[in-house]
Chains A and B, each alone.
Chain A
Amino acid sequence: MSSENGMFGAQGTGDTSGYGGLVRTAASTGSSERPYGSYFDSVTDDLERAYPDFADAIERVVVDRGELTLHVKASRLVEVSMILRDKLKFEMCLGVSGVNYPDDKDRELHAVYPLLSMTHNQRIRLEVSVPDSHPHIPSLVEVWAGNNWNERETFDMFGIIFDGHPGLTRILMPDDWQGHPQRKDYALGGISVEYKGATTPAPDERRSYR
C-alpha cells in the first residue's frame, strides 16, 4: 500500500509511536481447498453443473471468514450472473462495491458484488478485477435492474466503466468533477471552498494535517 498522510503528520503505517513495527499481512492470493464447508460446496457444485465453462470463467474460489467469493473474469460476468440468478436463484444483487488495490499489478480495480438468494437463504460474492489501464466491466443492469445506481456510484468513485449501462453518469459528485475520489491516488482534502467571495483553504493546508 502506498504511503498516505494521516493524523498528526503520520506517514505510512499510522504507527505514531514508531515502536509498533507494524507489518501488513497481504491477503492470500490462491484458491481455497475443498471442502469449503457450509453450503459453499453445494453452491459451487450446482454452478459447475449448470455452467459448463466454469473452469474457464471462475479464476479463483475463496472461502474466508465464513464467506464464499467467486473471482470471475470480466468478460464472463454477465453469463455467470444469469446462471446464478435463474438456475441457482440468487434473486437479489446488493449492489457493487469498488476497491482500489494499487499494488495488485494489472488488477488494480476490483468490483465486488454481494448476492443474496432469498429462496435458499444463502449469500455469495462475485469479485471482478480489471487493470487501471483498461477499467471496463460489463454492466449487470440487465440482470439485476437495481444495480443501476450502484454502478453509477462505483463509476463516480473509482472510474470503473460499466459497458452497456443505460446512462453511466456521476451520481454523488457534481457532474463536472475532476477525478474519482475513492481511488487510493486521490488525496483526502485538497479542495478549497469558495462561498460568497471568501475562500476557505483546503483542510490539508490549514494546520498540521499535511
Chain B
Amino acid sequence: MSTYTDPYAASRETTEGTVFSVTGGDWDSLVTEIGQAKEERVVVNMGPQHPSTHGVLRLVLELEGETVTEVRCGIGYLHTGIEKNIEYRNWTQGVTFVTRMDYLSPLFNEAAYCLGVEKLLGITNDVPERASVIRVLMMELNRISSHMVALGTGALELGALSPMIFCFREREKVLDIFELISGLRMNMAYIRPGGVQQDLPAGALAKIRATVKDLRHSFKDNENLLVGNSIWMKRTEGIGYLDLAGATTLGVTGPVLRSTGLPWDLRKMQPYCGYENYNFDVVTADTCDVYGRFLIRVNELEQSLRIIEQAVDKLEKLEGAPVMVADKKIAWPAQLALGGDGLGNSLDHIRDIMGTSMESLIHHFKLVTEGFRVPAGQVYTAIESPRGELGAHVVSDGGTRPFRVHFREPSFNNLQSTSAMCEGSMVADIIGAVASIDPVMGGVDR
C-alpha cells in the first residue's frame, strides 16, 4: 500500500476494498498503487460531469485491465418532476412542460402529448389539414436539428472536432427557422391541443425553401468528413453490437433498432399527422453497430429534407386555411403578433375583447385561466422521434387538468442497452456506444 499521501489520488480503506479518489491528473501514483493490489478488478466511476458521457450520465465501470466487465448507468441527475408538475396546470399549459423534457426534440414531445389530448377529446379528425402539415414540417426540421447534435457531439466525443463545428452551424440554420415561425429557438410550445399556436409568418416558406437547398449542399460536405473515413470506421465498426433479439427484448427503438436491419418506423407503420401522404424511405443498416447507426442518421437527414419539401408544397396550396380546430371551446385564443422583439399580444385581438365584446372577454378569460375539460379515460399515443418511439400515456378524470401523463421516453429505454452493448468491450468503445444511442438526459430523467 502507499507510503505517502498523494494529493490527487488519495486512497482509503472500505469494506469493499481500497477506494481511490482521483481528483487531478496524477495517474502514475494510482497505477503504482493498483499494481500492488491483489486483484486486477478496478471499479471506475465515469461522470456524471464528464465531457464524453453525452450529458449528466454517470457510468460505473468494472474493469479488468482495459476490458469492461460490467457497466451500470446512474441516472436521475436531471429529474425535474415534469410529470408531477403537469397535473397542477391545465391541459394547454402542459405543452409548456413537455417541450422541456427532451430539449433537443421539443416539437416531438409537444406532438406526442397533443395527439394524446386530441384523442381523449375525440377531435383527432377535426384538426385542420394545414395544422397537421405544419406539424410535420416542424417535426422534420426538428429531426434535422436533433440529428445534427447527435452526429456533431458523437464525433466530438470520439475526438473529431470539425464535424461538431459544422453540424452546429447547420443546426443554427434550422433554429433560425424555428425562431422565425414560433418566436423561440427551443422549447417553443408551438404545437397546441387542436392545432398549432399560430400560422406561419409571411416569407417563412421562401426561407425554408432556401434553407433546404443550403442544407442539402452542406450535408454533402459533412458526409465527406466522416463517411468512409478510415479513422472513424476503426472507432465505430463492430462497436456497440446489439442485434434484433436484444433490441426487441430491451424495448429499443429508433435508429438503434433500424441498425439491426428492421425497417420499423412509426411514420410508415402507424402513420399520424398524415405521414401516409408523403414519399420517403425508411433508412436501415444491417451492421448492428455504431457505424450503422451513424449512417442511418446521416441518411435520414436527406429523407427529412424530402418530407419538408413536400410539406412546403402542400402549405402553398393550403394558404389561408385554419391552423386550429373550429371549436372555440377548445381553441385557445392564440391571436398573437410577431413583433421585432418576438411574439407578443396582438393589439387587434385585445381591442376586440376589451372594446367590442364582453362575451369574447369572458370566453377568453375562462378558457385561459380554467381551461377546457377533457372526457375521462386513457390513451397511449406514439410517434417516431429522432431517438425512437416517443409514447404519451395520457389519463383524464374529466377535469381541466391532466390526471396523469407519463412519457415513454426513447432515450430512457434505449440507454438501458448500454450494458448489453458495452460489456466485454474496451473502455474507449463505451464512448462510441453511448453516443450512438444518443440519449438526451433531459428526456431520460424528465
**A residues whose Cβ falls under 8 Å from a Cβ of B:** 1, 4, 6-8, 13-17, 20, 22-27, 64-67, 69, 91-95, 97-100, 112, 114, 116, 118, 121, 123, 125, 144-150, 153, 157, 170-174, 181-182, 188
**Are A121 and B270 in contact (CB-based, < 8 A)?**
yes
A131 to B51, CA, bound (A): 45
**Is B348 positioned at the interface, with any CB of A under 8 Å from its CB?**
no
CB distance from B125 to the nearest CB of A (A): 11
Can you report 26 residue pairs joining A to B where beta carbons are below 8 Å apart?
Answer: A7-B88, A8-B369, A13-B400, A16-B369, A20-B370, A24-B398, A64-B378, A65-B379, A92-B251, A94-B380, A94-B408, A94-B413, A95-B413, A98-B406, A112-B378, A112-B393, A114-B393, A146-B252, A149-B415, A150-B412, A171-B76, A172-B75, A172-B76, A172-B445, A173-B76, A173-B79
**Are A149 and B413 in contact (CB-based, < 8 A)?**
yes
Give the contact-size bracket for chain B.
35 or more
**Are B399 and A172 in contact (CB-based, < 8 A)?**
no
Q: Other CB < 8 Å A-B pairs besides A22-B400, A95-B413, A171-B76, 20 of them? A: A6-B401, A14-B401, A16-B370, A17-B366, A24-B397, A25-B375, A25-B398, A65-B122, A65-B379, A93-B251, A94-B380, A94-B382, A112-B378, A112-B393, A121-B270, A146-B413, A172-B76, A181-B81, A182-B84, A188-B85
Task: Please name the residue on chain B nearest to A170 by beta carbon.
Answer: B76
> Contacts of B391 on A, CB cut-off 8 Å?
94-95, 114
Residue among B249, B264, B270, B382 with max Cβ neighbours from chain A (10 Å): B249
> Contacts of A116 on B, CB cut-off 8 Å?
389
User: Among A24, A27, A174, which residue has its beta carbon within 8 angstroms of that of B377?
Assistant: A27
**Are A22 and B269 in contact (CB-based, < 8 A)?**
no
> Contacts of A13 on B, CB cut-off 8 Å?
399-400
CB distance from B368 to the nearest CB of A (A): 10
CB distance from B115 to the nearest CB of A (A): 12
CB distance from A129 to the nearest CB of B (A): 13
CB distance from B227 to the nearest CB of A (A): 29
Render B368-411 as a binary contact track against A, CB cut-off 8 A, 1 for contact. Answer: 01110101111110100000010101010111110110101000
A14 and B90 in contact, given A1-B397, A24-B397, A24-B398 (Cβ under 8 angstroms): yes
> Contacts of B366 on A, CB cut-off 8 Å?
17, 20
User: Among A14, A100, A145, which residue has its beta carbon within 8 angstroms of that of B250?
Assistant: A145
The 7 closest A-B pairs by CB, nearest first: A146-B251, A97-B406, A24-B398, A146-B250, A172-B76, A25-B398, A27-B376
A181 and B248 in contact, given A25-B375, A150-B413 (Cβ under 8 angstroms): no
> Contacts of B404 on A, CB cut-off 8 Å?
97, 99-100, 182
> Contacts of B416 on A, CB cut-off 8 Å?
146, 148-149
Task: Please name the residue on chain A nearest to B405 by beta carbon.
Answer: A97
CB distance from B325 to the nearest CB of A (A): 17
A16 to B367, CA, bound (A): 11
CB distance from A200 to the nearest CB of B (A): 16
**B residues whose Cβ falls under 8 Å from a Cβ of A:** 75-76, 79, 81, 83-85, 87-90, 119-120, 122, 248-252, 262, 264, 269-270, 365-366, 369-371, 373, 375-380, 382, 389, 391, 393, 395, 397-401, 403-404, 406, 408, 412-413, 415-416, 445-446
A5 to B101, CA, bound (A): 24
CB distance from A27 to the nearest CB of B (A): 4
**Are B371 and A125 in contact (CB-based, < 8 A)?**
no
User: Among A20, A114, A157, A170, which residue has its beta carbon within 8 angstroms of that of B380?
Assistant: A114
**Are B83 and A182 in contact (CB-based, < 8 A)?**
yes
> Contacts of A97 on B, CB cut-off 8 Å?
393, 404, 406, 408
A100 to B382, CA, bound (A): 22
**Are A118 and B262 in contact (CB-based, < 8 A)?**
yes
A118 and B248 in contact, given A14-B90, A17-B369, A172-B76 (Cβ under 8 angstroms): yes
> Contacts of A26 on B, CB cut-off 8 Å?
376, 397-398
**Are A99 and B395 in contact (CB-based, < 8 A)?**
yes
CB distance from B261 to the nearest CB of A (A): 13
A95 to B379, CA, bound (A): 15
> Contacts of B79 on A, CB cut-off 8 Å?
172-173
A17 and B365 in contact, given A1-B397, A114-B408, A172-B76 (Cβ under 8 angstroms): yes
CB distance from A61 to the nearest CB of B (A): 15
A145 to B90, CA, bound (A): 36
A64 to B394, CA, bound (A): 13
User: Among B75, B83, B88, B370, which residue has its beta carbon within 8 angstroms of that of A171?
Assistant: B75
**Are A91 and B400 in contact (CB-based, < 8 A)?**
no
**Are B406 and A67 in contact (CB-based, < 8 A)?**
no
A114 to B79, CA, bound (A): 23
Task: Please name the residue on chain A nearest to B392 by beta carbon.
Answer: A97
> Contacts of A144 on B, CB cut-off 8 Å?
249, 251
A172 to B76, CA, bound (A): 4
A20 to B329, CA, bound (A): 13
A14 and B370 in contact, given A65-B122, A123-B380 (Cβ under 8 angstroms): yes
A69 to B79, CA, bound (A): 30
> Contacts of A125 on B, CB cut-off 8 Å?
380
A153 to B84, CA, bound (A): 13
A123 to B408, CA, bound (A): 14
Residue among B262, B382, B397, B406 with max Cβ neighbours from chain A (10 Å): B406
> Contacts of A1 on B, CB cut-off 8 Å?
397, 399, 403
A112 to B376, CA, bound (A): 16
Task: Please name the residue on chain A nearest to B420 by beta carbon.
Answer: A145
> Contacts of B87 on A, CB cut-off 8 Å?
188
**Are A15 and B370 in contact (CB-based, < 8 A)?**
yes
Task: Please name the residue on chain B nearest to A24 by beta carbon.
Answer: B398
User: Among A65, A69, A149, which residue has its beta carbon within 8 angstroms of that of B412?
Assistant: A149
> Contacts of A98 on B, CB cut-off 8 Å?
406
